[in-house]
Amino acid sequence: MTIKVIQWATGAMGKTTLRAVIDHPDLELVGLYVYSDKKVGKDAGDIARRAPTGVKATKSIDEILALDADVVLHCPLLQMPYNAHDADVKRLLESGKNVISINNYFHPQALGAASAASLEASARKGNATLCGTGINPGFIAERLATVLTGLCLEFEGVTIREVYDCFDMPNANYVFDVMAMGSPPEKVDLKNGPFALMFNDMYRQSVGSLADSLNLKLDSIEPDHEVVLAPKDIAAAAGVIKQGTVAATNWRFHGVAKGKRVITLSVNWIMGADVPGFADFHHWEIKVRGKPGLDLRMDLVEQTDTDMKTRAAQYGVAGMVVNAIPHVVAAPAGLYRFPLPPVFRKDLV
């Protein structure tokens, strides 16, 4: 059976999923939504560096809603506030289209019952399914760390650390103005700044999902962020990070149960290996403590046999999205969670 797909947005990540759809024999591209006026009317194949498809890009949501499609791959850039895309997603669901997002909806219950209920109502109105997936959020905590606990007879806690090296990121505006690299530390608001608020809503879903899978009743999810300063001038691709200014941010979230931090998720953005504490790092480290304890380290590997600029992380997210399509299309209406193999559960009945 061929699955009819709409691709929503064609940034770096959206182009990767668009190519994956065009290349897949069981997927049929039937629609393409873009934000740029320059892309309107272009063939999807031209945008994706593929042969012509006959599908023309549009900025009209009404045109997208009118299409006969099984699923929408929702891949826009993150916007602030974090729920900025909710209205569009609800319209897609209510039109009868399943939606897979790379930016949100990983575990909406963690953002409050009212928010989850509103999304659920739109999904049920259109007899559609909503799913969020990606690497982190979407896979590392929600699925991989959760599965590792299946080795445990007793569980004490889990710590997850992600490190993303931004040293080669060329966009100076993004590095200095958005990520706040090179800023005096007193200028970075780790509590109410835009990134702090956005990441709070994003990563509390990861912590909440992992806790729910293990049937851990959390008292709270506590943010605990910090910055690391440059020990010397760092000549990054976007410009120089001056000594004594911010060279790394650590966005850290703790799931607290019975007064104890049982889940810790630490997301680190760094400007190269000269940043203290990051001379040798892996993309992800997962430490499960219990009986037995275990440590897992994982790195993405970049492609070397292609002239494409697509990075390993983009392929990974696209893989998560494309592989989720048949499951989401076949699922009952509502908010979707991926099934898990046996994991640690204190209650076995």
How far is Cα 113 from Cα 91, in angstroms, rounded to an integer?
20
Residue 291 and residue 146 share a domain: yes
User: Which pLDDT value is given to residue 78?
Assistant: 86
Do 163 and 232 share a structural domain?
A: yes
Residue 287 lies in a domain: yes
* 88 and 121 co-located in one domain: yes
Mean pLDDT, residues 222-233: 96
Tell me the pLDDT band of 247, cut-offs 50, 70 and 90.
very high
304 is a domain residue: no
* Confidence grade of residue 349 (pLDDT, cut at 50, 70, 90): low
In a domain, 61, yes or no: yes
Whether the pLDDT of residue 332 is over 70: the answer is: yes
Q: What is this structure's pTM? A: 0.93
Q: Please check whether residue 343 lies inside any domain of the structure.
A: no
The pLDDT-based confidence of 304 (bands split at 50, 70, 90) is confident
- Count of the separate structural domains present in the chain: 2
User: Same domain for 154 and 274?
Assistant: yes
Taking a C-beta distance cutoff of 8 angstroms, is the pair 162, 283 a contact? yes
- Residue burial 166-189, b: 16+ Cβ < 10 Å; e: rest: bbebeeeeebbeebbbbbeeeebe
Asked whether residue 309 is domain-assigned, the answer is no
Question: Based on the domain organization, do 256 and 190 belong to the same domain?
Answer: yes
| Alpha carbon distance 321, 73 (integer Å) | 8
pLDDT tens digit sequence for 167-220: 998 889 888 987 889 999 999 999 998 889 999 999 999 999 999 999 999 999
**Of residues 345 and 53, more confidently modeled:** 53
Indicate if 270 and 157 belong to the same structural domain: yes
User: Is a pLDDT exceeding 70 seen at residue 255?
Assistant: yes
Q: Which residue range(s) make up the domain with 240?
A: 140-299
Query: What is the pLDDT at residue 27?
Result: 98
> What CATH number is attached to the domain comprising 104?
3.40.50.720
Average pLDDT (241-266) is: 97
